[in-house]
A and B are shown apart, each in its own frame.
Chain A
Amino acid sequence: MEAPVTDDRLLHQRIAGGEEAALGELYDRFAPLVFGLSARITRDRSAAEDITQEVFISFWERPLAFDPGRGTLRAWLATIAHRRAVDHVRAQERRKASVLGPRLVEPEPERLEDAVLSRQEADGVRLAVGKLPDDLREVIELAYYRGRTYRQVAEELGLPEGTAKSRIRTGLRRLADALTEEGA
């Protein structure tokens, strides 16, 4: 027997086939995620609601931009929401800056709605990793760039497993702060 059609895949198929109820289901499942992330980054509920609307509308309008073979719906929506929220924060900063003086930052060209990280976004992540304290950077690099399990991380560094695990989480939390508070 074949594997069941995954929820993500079926929901995507229904939306590509123009079934509006499927967009409602997508919204019900992921609106808290999209809104929560946007609100955290923009610190502005009304802006976060606009972003939430835009993220779901653009998924409906351009369903083929998503490829379930390359990642989950959750990851796709989180990536797009983060990107739009960061764009919003930057636009606000530019607006403030232009009141004070000549424009220092050129507006960026509109991005393709693509869940692959842009080079700039990837650089932002790597820069944030570089700024971590040594002990946190070490565990993040081992876990993400050298493919170690947290057990292997613990062994390699001679740490108790619980300590390795909590360092990875602390590292992720610091990165989360960097990604959401400095406009990435």
Chain B
Amino acid sequence: MNDDPTHRLYLDALEEALAETAAGDAPPQAPLRPLTLTAARARRRPAASVSGWTAPFAGRIAAMDALLGEAGEDDWGRETVEGWTLQELLAHLAAKDGLVALSAGAPVLGPPVIADEALARTAELQEYERRRVPEQTRRDWRAQADALCRHLAPLPPETPMTVSGFTMPVADHLLARMLETWIHTADAAGAAGVRLPDPVPGHIEPTADLCVRLMPLTMLMRGHAVAEGRAVRLVLTGHGGGSWHVPLHPGGRAVREGGPAGAAATGRDTRGGGPADATVTCDVIEFCFLVGGRGEPARFAAGVEGDAGLARDLLHAAPALSGP
């Protein structure tokens, strides 16, 4: 809008009006602030948490809900991804949040869970939601996510949890839910032609960290028998990024380097585990989305130094855990 001369002129004239009035006018009455915040909360529910390890997930739920607030009748019926309408996509997210809730002993909304498996539960919930109006689907999806957040928040983040046969710390399960909610919100925003703001850097960082730590597993899943001692250095650029030393043998534990992204210059890791065979540098959000199954590994924009074959295997294997 700043490219339009008429609008620029209009804004400059408004600034001029303000410069003239600011001195003479008393500010708005103090009680207006709390009144405004209270009324705002009633119109759009705030995130279920804004601090602690559940906050990145809660933030993505709130952002998706804001996008849903923009949706008109056309949008609900429009195909988003996987051949699903927005309502079906939301049922899919609710289904997977529900399976985490099931494992955690939190309330599970919707019909009783018959199959503790993502796609089967998705089909169950989509069938159920198709008979309801989109607003009901939206309300239950949000209630499920918020209930899950409230239930999990008091737990230590490293508490092991098994969801659909997959065991990780509970915080990692919720970060995986964050990533999926983020990616599907981007899918829906793209279908509606809306620009989605990025999560705050503090929410991107732990999500990227999870994605990096999954690399030894994705390599294994794609059949790469990596010998102990082989490692890459992953440099994720942009807000919420950083650098990691990633041993790629089965069970290898990625270590985040101290300092901000790009601080250390070489492939030699500073804290844990010797030299790296390759350094892969790419955008942190693009990397998260690659792990989440968005983007073509063959065309992925990454700077590679060192063992190009190993770097290629890493990028091609990265989406191995992504499902619909």
Give complex CA distance A179, B14 in Å: 8
Instruction: Please tell me if B66 contacts chain A, counting CB pairs below 8 Å.
Output: yes
Minimum CB–CB distance from B192 to chain A (whole Å) comes to 9
Give which listed residue, B9, B43, B63, contacts A18 with CB less than 8 A. B63
Q: Which chain A residue has the least Cβ–Cβ distance from B22?
A: A36
Main secondary structure, interface of A, reads helix
Give complex CA distance A82, B21 in Å: 14
Instruction: Please tell me if A17 contacts chain B, counting CB pairs below 8 Å.
Output: yes
Instruction: Please tell me if B296 contacts chain A, counting CB pairs below 8 Å.
Output: no
Give complex CA distance A121, B94 in Å: 43
Give which listed residue, B6, B33, B43, contacts A117 with CB less than 8 A. B6
Minimum CB–CB distance from B10 to chain A (whole Å) comes to 5
Instruction: Please tell me if B301 contacts chain A, counting CB pairs below 8 Å.
Output: no
User: Are B66 and A57 touching (Cβ within 8 A)?
Assistant: no
Main secondary structure, interface of B, reads helix
State which of B152-160, B193-201, B244-252, B304-312 sits at the interface with chain A.
B193-201
Minimum CB–CB distance from B11 to chain A (whole Å) comes to 5
Q: Which chain B residue has the least Cβ–Cβ distance from A68?
A: B197
User: Are A179 and B22 touching (Cβ within 8 A)?
Assistant: no
Tell me the residues in window 70-96 of chain A with beta carbons closer than 8 Å to chain B beta carbons.
70-71, 75, 78-79, 82
User: Are A121 and B197 touching (Cβ within 8 A)?
Assistant: no
Enumerate chain B residues within 8 angstroms of A154, measured Cβ to Cβ. none
Give complex CA distance A35, B1 in Å: 23
User: Are B11 and A13 touching (Cβ within 8 A)?
Assistant: no
Tell me the residues in window 45-61 of chain A with beta carbons closer than 8 Å to chain B beta carbons.
48-49, 52-53, 56-57, 60-61
Give complex CA distance A31, B26 in Å: 12
Q: Mark A1-31, 1 if CB is under 8 A from B, else 0.
A: 1100100011011101111110110011001
User: Are B36 and A53 touching (Cβ within 8 A)?
Assistant: yes
Enumerate chain A residues within 8 angstroms of B196, measured Cβ to Cβ. 16, 64
Minimum CB–CB distance from A131 to chain B (whole Å) comes to 13
Tell me the residues in window 1-47 of chain B with beta carbons closer than 8 Å to chain A beta carbons.
1-2, 4-18, 20-22, 25, 27-29, 32-33, 35-37, 39-41, 43-47
Enumerate chain B residues within 8 angstroms of A140, measured Cβ to Cβ. 9
Q: Which chain A residue has the least Cβ–Cβ distance from B284?
A: A2
The residues of B with any CB-CB pair to A shorter than 8 Å are: 1-2, 4-18, 20-22, 25, 27-29, 32-33, 35-37, 39-41, 43-47, 50, 58-63, 65-67, 69-70, 189, 194-201, 203, 237-239, 241, 260-262
The residues of A with any CB-CB pair to B shorter than 8 Å are: 1-2, 5, 9-10, 12-14, 16-21, 23-24, 27-28, 31-33, 35-37, 39-40, 48-49, 52-53, 56-57, 60-65, 67-71, 75, 78-79, 82, 115-117, 121-122, 125-126, 129, 140, 144-145, 147, 169, 172-173, 175-177, 179-180
The 8 closest A-B pairs by CB, nearest first: A18-B62, A18-B47, A17-B59, A176-B17, A175-B13, A60-B40, A35-B28, A172-B16
Further contacts, 12 of them, CB under 8 A, given A2-B241, A18-B46, A117-B10: A1-B260, A5-B201, A14-B200, A16-B66, A20-B41, A27-B36, A31-B27, A39-B21, A60-B44, A78-B18, A79-B11, A175-B9
What are 24 inter-chain pairs, A to B, with CB distance below 8 A?
A: A12-B197, A17-B59, A17-B200, A18-B46, A18-B59, A18-B61, A19-B47, A21-B50, A28-B33, A31-B28, A40-B17, A49-B29, A53-B32, A60-B40, A61-B43, A63-B66, A78-B15, A79-B7, A125-B13, A140-B9, A144-B8, A144-B9, A176-B17, A180-B17
